[in-house]
Structure 1
Amino acid sequence: MTVAEIRDTKRERRGWYLYDWANSPFYSSVTTVFGALYMSSVAAVQAKSDITRNGDTPCADPAGVENKLQNCDVSLFGLHFPAGSVWGYLLSVATVVQVLVLPIAGAVADRSRHKRRILGGFAVLGAVATALMFFMAGGNWQLGAALFIVANIGYGASLVIYYSFLVDIAGPDERDAVSARGWAFGYLGGGLALALQLTFYLGRDALGVSQGTAVRICFLTSGIWWLLFTIPVVRALPRTQVPVAVERGLSVLTAGFAELRKTVAAAKAYPLTLAFLGSYLVFTDGITTVVSVSAQYGKDELKFSDEVLIVTVLVIQFVAYAGGTLHGLVARRFGAKRTILGSLALWILVIGSAYFVQAGRPLQFYAVAIGIGLVLGGTNALSRSLFSQMIPAGKDAQYYSLYVVGEKGTSWLGPLVFAGVGQATGSFRLAIVALVVFFVLGLVFVWLVPVRRAIEAAGNRPPAVL
Structure 2
Amino acid sequence: MDTKLQRSWMMYDWANSAFATTIMAAVFPIFYNSVAAANLSEGAATSYYSFTQSIAVLIVAVMAPILGAIADYSAAKMKFLRFFAYMGMAGSILLFTVNEGNYILASLLFIIASVGFSGGNVFYDAFLPHVTNKDDMDRVSTKAYAFGYIGGGILLAINLLMIMKYSWFGLPSSKEATQLAFVSVGLWWFIFSIPLFKNLKEEKVVNQGKRTKSYVAIGFSRIGETFKTLKHYKQLLIFIIAFWMFSDGISTIIRMATFYGATIGIGQNDLIAALLITQFVGIPCTLFFSKLAKWISAKKALTLALMVYVVIVILGYFMTSALHFYLLAVCVGTVQGGAQALSRSIFARMIPHNKHAEFFGFYGITSKFAAIIGPAVFGITAGLTDNSRLGILSLIVFFVIGIVLLQLVNIEKGEQEAKALEDQSDRVKVKAK
On the 8 A contact 1:286/1:439 being kept in 2, the answer is: yes
Residues 297 and 37 (structure 1), Cα distance of their counterparts in 2 relative to 1, 3 Å cut: closer
Q: SS state of the match for residue 448, structure 1?
A: coil
Residues 277-292 of structure 1 mapped to structure 2, 5 A cutoff: 277-292=240-255
Residues 219 and 244 (structure 1), Cα distance of their counterparts in 2 relative to 1, 3 Å cut: farther
Matching of residue 176 in structure 1 with residue 169 in structure 2: no
**Cα distance in structure 1, aligned partners of 2:217 and 2:288:** 43
2:80 is matched by which residue type in structure 1? I
Instruction: Find the counterpart in structure 1 of residue 224 from structure 2.
Output: 261
Equivalent residue in structure 2 for 1:70, among 24, 37, 40? 40
Matching of residue 441 in structure 1 with residue 389 in structure 2: no
On the 8 A contact 1:15/1:236 being kept in 2, the answer is: yes
Q: SS state of the match for residue 458, structure 1?
A: helix
On the 8 A contact 1:133/1:147 being kept in 2, the answer is: yes
* Displacement after TM superposition at 1:348 (Å): 2.9
**Cα distance in structure 2, aligned partners of 1:418 and 1:129:** 25
Matching of residue 95 in structure 1 with residue 60 in structure 2: no
**Cα distance in structure 2, aligned partners of 1:84 and 1:341:** 31
The structure whose residues are more often helix, as a share, is 2
- Identical-residue share of aligned pairs (%): 32
Instruction: Find the counterpart in structure 1 of residue 363 from structure 2.
Output: 403
Instruction: Find the counterpart in structure 1 of residue 352 from structure 2.
Output: 392
Matching of residue 324 in structure 1 with residue 286 in structure 2: yes
Equivalent residue in structure 2 for 1:271, among 219, 234, 244? 234
Residues 436 and 100 (structure 1), Cα distance of their counterparts in 2 relative to 1, 3 Å cut: closer
* Displacement after TM superposition at 1:199 (Å): 1.0
On the 8 A contact 1:115/1:241 being kept in 2, the answer is: no
**Cα distance in structure 1, aligned partners of 2:16 and 2:96:** 17
CA RMSD of aligned residues (A): 3.1
Instruction: Find the counterpart in structure 2 of residue 152 from structure 1.
Output: 114
TM-score, normalisation: structure 2: 0.86
Which of the pair has the greater relative contact order for Cα pairs under 8 Å at 6+ separation?
A: 2
Residues 156 and 290 (structure 1), Cα distance of their counterparts in 2 relative to 1, 3 Å cut: closer
Matching of residue 367 in structure 1 with residue 367 in structure 2: no
Residues 383 and 246 (structure 1), Cα distance of their counterparts in 2 relative to 1, 3 Å cut: farther
On the 8 A contact 1:180/1:377 being kept in 2, the answer is: yes
Equivalent residue in structure 2 for 1:200, among 156, 162, 166? 162
Q: SS state of the match for residue 269, structure 2?
A: helix
2:349 is matched by which residue type in structure 1? Q
Residues 246 and 41 (structure 1), Cα distance of their counterparts in 2 relative to 1, 3 Å cut: farther
User: Gaps spanning 5+ residues in structure 1: where?
Assistant: 1-7, 45-67, 73-80, 462-466
Matching of residue 450 in structure 1 with residue 410 in structure 2: yes
Which of the two has higher C-alpha Rg? 1
C-alpha deviations, 1:126-159, integer Å up to 9, x for none?
2123223323346655554443333223222211
- Count of residue pairs brought into register by the alignment: 420
**Cα distance in structure 2, aligned partners of 1:138 and 1:427:** 25
Equivalent residue in structure 2 for 1:115, among 74, 77, 81? 77
* Displacement after TM superposition at 1:219 (Å): 1.4
Q: SS state of the match for residue 209, structure 1?
A: coil
On the 8 A contact 2:280/2:333 being kept in 1, the answer is: yes
**Cα distance in structure 2, aligned partners of 1:13 and 1:460:** 28
Residues 26 and 446 (structure 1), Cα distance of their counterparts in 2 relative to 1, 3 Å cut: same
**Cα distance in structure 2, aligned partners of 1:265 and 1:415:** 30
**Cα distance in structure 1, aligned partners of 2:215 and 2:209:** 7
Residues 70 and 338 (structure 1), Cα distance of their counterparts in 2 relative to 1, 3 Å cut: same
**Cα distance in structure 2, aligned partners of 1:22 and 1:246:** 37
On the 8 A contact 2:316/2:328 being kept in 1, the answer is: yes
On the 8 A contact 1:43/1:141 being kept in 2, the answer is: yes
1:69 is matched by which residue type in structure 2? N
Instruction: Find the counterpart in structure 2 of residue 215 from structure 1.
Output: 178
